[in-house]
């Protein structure tokens, strides 16, 4: 019964989504306030029914209802409870349901926190979000119903793919989707602005926290996915430029550009049409990502269902939504162009450079990702584009970007600063050189040109971000939004530091681990003490005990495993990680070599942790920026008109 309940809830959610998209948009043109006021109850109801549907599928997983095809395909009676929850989004149908739920949550949040915005504008935003919801709800119901029954029901399920049975992967898709779908909000704001035919500082101020929120979740989602690939796939890599990874990285890059462009639109009323285009693009790239991942049009390690009817549907939906949005943009944006100018060394110039470089990076990665598809469609043959292209193509815009970040932070809006930037930045520049050049040489002996450059830029970005928080260097009044920016930029520096050092100095060996005989790597000695059989809830494993020491002193003991899940019998290597801030040590087991010996892969990853630490700082910066007073003051001003005293000052401050 419960799956049917979920099914009915999904149908009701679709009906409400249709109401949510048609009524307020219609009402906004006819001036019918009753129709416009339908938006909020419709979106709330849609959330309730989406949650019921999601709950019903979760219930089917928890109670092992294998008569539901999706459950039978992605669970098993031995699957631990924790993973039964996560298995809901462990496959195509369930992840669409998660998409729908997340979109409904975002939409309701917009409805709740929109009191300071004009009624007609809110109606249009919710209407656009409704259109997106209709697209995904009907996609789910008509091509990928998670509640389809299997008759007769199988005795047991086929189990969740073992490599997905991992804590990080439980949280990776939700975070990623919250980010992806969050860009739908910025998209809806942009379309509503185009429908209104005007865009002002208030629009940018409403849009900014939503965009930042989506961006910070996407940041965490991508980061968690990278961390998962790093320790679970056991290859020690943290980014593979796989089409599916690129699909999440492209909206992130454009979202980052959007955050910066929105700042200019809010503070100076410039870049208006450009901001709108970025807002449309960020969400379009999220849709593109969904299409690439779900249609199987590109060959990927993460290859999912390659069902042409599904691909066709998403393509049609994406085609309509994005073409209409871009056509609306081409029609309305020219009249919104801003004509205010700015001086060459003003902050606007640097943010423009930031945007250009980020968009170049986006286009280069998009080109590399889609190139095989273009070649094939033109009958020019099948090719694959690999990391060598992406590494190089990405580095070209990134080096100047890193250099300019530090300068742009210390410039002023509108004008060339009174004290030359150079005078303010010569000490940070010197510090970055003094720390950045010797560090790789001192700790690791040798350093290539790229390593030294990366190291200098990492410290340059970190130092220039931190000093901007100091009195007399940074702005006189520190707003949260400014602090958030500095923290995020500092995080970027930390990330570059990690990337630079781990790419330059990681080491690995594959050796026979013979009990009692140590293997040397990077000054560490790894000794296999022995192996034993271990039983997990749904797998059997052989676990090795490996003692790590350095200069005769005990460091840690690692327990890598070789697992065989009882249903899907492929052996899975569970890497053991000796964590640390200076380096991480990874040991994974290969094949048994007889006499208790095993082939071992041992990896040494210096500073690798800083990659993920950096992304945490970036996300934290986003949180701080969202908590800025002016986003809340604007609302209070609406409800308590008497207390407007300090609001204009705060809104007009630095940021």
Partner 1 sequence: MWRYLAAPALFIVLLGFFLVGLFRDPTLVPSPLINQPAPQFELPQLLDPERTLALSDLATGEPVLLNVWATWCVGCRQEHGMLVDISRSGEIPIFGLNWKDDRTAALRWLERLGDPYVAVAVDDDGRVAIDWGVYGSPETFLLDGQGIIRYKHIGPIDQAVWEREFRPRIAQLRQGDS
Binding site for partner 1 (CB under 8 A): 240, 242, 273, 277, 280-281, 284, 291, 295-299, 301, 308, 311-312, 315, 318-319, 322-323, 326-327, 329-330, 333-334, 370, 372-374, 376-377, 381-384, 386-387, 510, 570-571, 590-591, 599, 601
Measured from the CB atom, the residue of 206 and 313 that comes closer to partner 1 is 313
What is the separation of C-alpha 649 from the centre of its chain, rounded to a whole number of angstroms? 34
* Shortest Cβ 378–partner 1 spacing (Å): 8
Whether 373 contacts 382, CB under 8 Å: no
Whether 288 contacts 318, CB under 8 Å: yes
Whether 35 contacts 26, CB under 8 Å: yes
Token pair, residue 115, equals: 């009191």
Residues forming beta bridges with residue 524, ordered by sequence position: 521, 550
* Shortest Cβ 288–partner 1 spacing (Å): 8
* Shortest Cβ 133–partner 1 spacing (Å): 22
Measured from the CB atom, the residue of 317 and 394 that comes closer to partner 1 is 317
Question: CB within 8 A of 207, min separation 6: which ones?
Answer: 186, 189, 190, 262, 279
Whether 232 contacts 186, CB under 8 Å: no
* Shortest Cβ 610–partner 1 spacing (Å): 25
Rounded Cα distance between 526 and 602, Å, is: 8
What is the separation of C-alpha 469 from the centre of its chain, rounded to a whole number of angstroms? 27
The sign of the torsion formed by the CA atoms of 628, 631, 637, 639 equals negative
Measured from the CB atom, the residue of 46 and 575 that comes closer to partner 1 is 575
Measured from the CB atom, the residue of 313 and 631 that comes closer to partner 1 is 313
* Shortest Cβ 587–partner 1 spacing (Å): 13
Measured from the CB atom, the residue of 334 and 523 that comes closer to partner 1 is 334
Rounded Cα distance between 589 and 541, Å, is: 11
* Shortest Cβ 303–partner 1 spacing (Å): 9
The distance between the two most distant Cα atoms of the chain, rounded to a whole number of Å, is 83
* Shortest Cβ 346–partner 1 spacing (Å): 24
Length of the chain equals 655
* Shortest Cβ 228–partner 1 spacing (Å): 15
Cis geometry, peptide bond prior to residue 152 (ω within 30 degrees of 0): yes
* Shortest Cβ 628–partner 1 spacing (Å): 31
Measured from the CB atom, the residue of 4 and 570 that comes closer to partner 1 is 570
Measured from the CB atom, the residue of 557 and 599 that comes closer to partner 1 is 599
* Shortest Cβ 480–partner 1 spacing (Å): 34
Q: What are the angstrom distances between the C-alpha of 535 and each of 539, 561, 565?
A: 6, 11, 10
Measured from the CB atom, the residue of 55 and 571 that comes closer to partner 1 is 571
Whether 28 contacts 36, CB under 8 Å: yes
* Shortest Cβ 314–partner 1 spacing (Å): 10
* Shortest Cβ 381–partner 1 spacing (Å): 6
Measured from the CB atom, the residue of 244 and 488 that comes closer to partner 1 is 244
* Shortest Cβ 334–partner 1 spacing (Å): 5
Measured from the CB atom, the residue of 299 and 434 that comes closer to partner 1 is 299
Beta-sheet strands, E only, within 246-348: none
Measured from the CB atom, the residue of 167 and 386 that comes closer to partner 1 is 386
With helix as H, strand as E and coil as C, how does 149-173 read?
Answer: ECCCCCCCCCCCCHHHCCHHHHHHH
Token pair, residue 398, equals: 């990134």
Measured from the CB atom, the residue of 326 and 403 that comes closer to partner 1 is 326
Rounded Cα distance between 34 and 516, Å, is: 79
Q: Checking DSSP bridges between strand 507-513 and strand 524-535, what pairing results, if any? A: unpaired
User: Mapping DSSP to helix (H, G, I), strand (E, B) and coil, where does residue 305 land?
Assistant: coil
* Shortest Cβ 280–partner 1 spacing (Å): 8
Question: CB within 8 A of 102, min separation 6: which ones?
Answer: 174, 177, 178, 181
Rounded Cα distance between 172 and 227, Å, is: 10
Whether 558 contacts 587, CB under 8 Å: yes
Measured from the CB atom, the residue of 243 and 474 that comes closer to partner 1 is 243
Whether 560 contacts 588, CB under 8 Å: yes
Measured from the CB atom, the residue of 605 and 630 that comes closer to partner 1 is 605
Phi, psi (deg, nearest 5) at residue 95 = -70, -30
Rounded Cα distance between 14 and 5, Å, is: 14
Q: Which helix (H) or strand (E) holds 586?
A: strand 583-594
Phi, psi (deg, nearest 5) at residue 352 = -65, -45
């Amino acid at each position: 019964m419960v799956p049917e309940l979920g099914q009915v809830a999904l149908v009701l959610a679709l009906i409400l989504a249709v109401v949510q998209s048609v009524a307020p948009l219609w009402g906004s043109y006819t001036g019918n306030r009753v129709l416009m006021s339908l938006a909020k109850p419709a979106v709330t109801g849609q959330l309730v029914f989406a949650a019921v549907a999601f709950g019903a599928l979760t219930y089917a997983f928890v109670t092992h209802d294998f008569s539901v095809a999706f459950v039978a395909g992605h669970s098993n009676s031995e699957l631990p409870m924790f993973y039964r929850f996560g298995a809901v989004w462990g496959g195509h149908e369930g992840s669409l349901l998660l998409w729908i739920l997340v979109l409904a949550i975002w939409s309701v949040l917009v409805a709740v926190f929109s009191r300071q915005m004009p009624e007609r504008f809110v109606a249009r935003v919710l209407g656009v979000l409704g259109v997106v919801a209709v697209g995904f709800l009907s996609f789910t119901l008509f091509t990928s119903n998670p509640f389809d029954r299997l008759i007769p029901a199988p005795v047991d399920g086929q189990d969740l793919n073992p490599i997905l049975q991992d804590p990080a992967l439980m949280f990776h898709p939700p975070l990623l989707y919250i980010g992806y779908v969050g860009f739908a909000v910025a998209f809806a704001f942009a379309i509503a602005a185009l429908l209104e035919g005007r865009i002002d500082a208030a629009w940018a101020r409403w849009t900014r926290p939503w965009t930042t929120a989506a961006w910070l979740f996407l940041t965490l989602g991508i980061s968690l996915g990278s961390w998962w690939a790093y320790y679970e796939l056991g290859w020690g890599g943290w980014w593979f430029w796989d089409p599916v990874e690129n699909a999440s990285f492209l909206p992130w890059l454009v979202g980052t550009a959007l955050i910066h462009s929105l700042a200019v639109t809010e503070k100076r009323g410039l870049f208006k049409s450009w901001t709108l285009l970025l807002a449309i693009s960020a969400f379009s790239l999220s849709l593109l990502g969904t299409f690439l991942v779900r249609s199987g049009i590109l060959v990927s390690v993460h290859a999912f269902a390659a069902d042409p009817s599904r691909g066709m549907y998403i393509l049609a939906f994406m085609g309509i939504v994005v073409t209409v949005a871009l056509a609306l943009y081409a029609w309305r944006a020219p009249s919104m162009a801003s004509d205010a100018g700015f001086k060459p060394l003003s902050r606007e110039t640097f943010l423009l450079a930031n945007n250009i470089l980020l968009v170049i990076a986006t286009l280069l990665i998009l080109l590399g990702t889609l190139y095989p598809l273009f070649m094939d469609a033109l009958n020019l043959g099948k090719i694959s584009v690999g990391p060598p292209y992406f590494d190089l193509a990405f580095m070209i815009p990134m080096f100047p970007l890193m250099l300019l970040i530090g300068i742009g932070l210390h410039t002023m809006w509108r004008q060339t600063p009174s004290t030359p930037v150079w005078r303010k930045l010569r000490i940070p520049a010197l510090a970055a050189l003094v720390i950045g050049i010797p560090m790789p040489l001192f700790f690791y002996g040798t350093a290539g040109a790229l390593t030294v450059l990366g190291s200098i830029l990492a410290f340059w970005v970190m130092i220039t971000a931190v000093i901007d928080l100091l009195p007399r260097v940074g702005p006189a009044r520190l707003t949260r939004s400014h602090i958030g920016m500095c923290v995020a930029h500092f995080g970027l520096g930390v990330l570059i530091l990690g990337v630079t050092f781990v790419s330059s100095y990681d080491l690995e060996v594959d050796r026979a681990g013979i009990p009692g005989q140590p293997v040397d790597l990077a000054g560490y000695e790894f000794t296999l003490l022995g192996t034993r059989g271990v039983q997990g809830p749904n797998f059997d494993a052989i676990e090795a005990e490996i003692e790590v020491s350095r200069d005769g002193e005990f460091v840690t003991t690692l327990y890598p495993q070789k697992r065989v899940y009882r249903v899907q019998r492929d052996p899975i290597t569970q890497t053991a990680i000796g964590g640390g801030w200076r380096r991480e040590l990874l040991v994974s087991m290969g094949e048994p070599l007889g006499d208790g010996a095993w082939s071992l892969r041992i990896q040494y990853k210096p500073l690798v942790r800083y990659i993920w630490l950096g992304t945490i700082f970036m996300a934290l910066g986003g949180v701080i920026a969202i908590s800025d007073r002016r986003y809340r003051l604007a609302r209070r001003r609406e409800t308590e008109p008497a207390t407007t005293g300090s609001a204009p000052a705060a809104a007009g401050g630095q940021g």
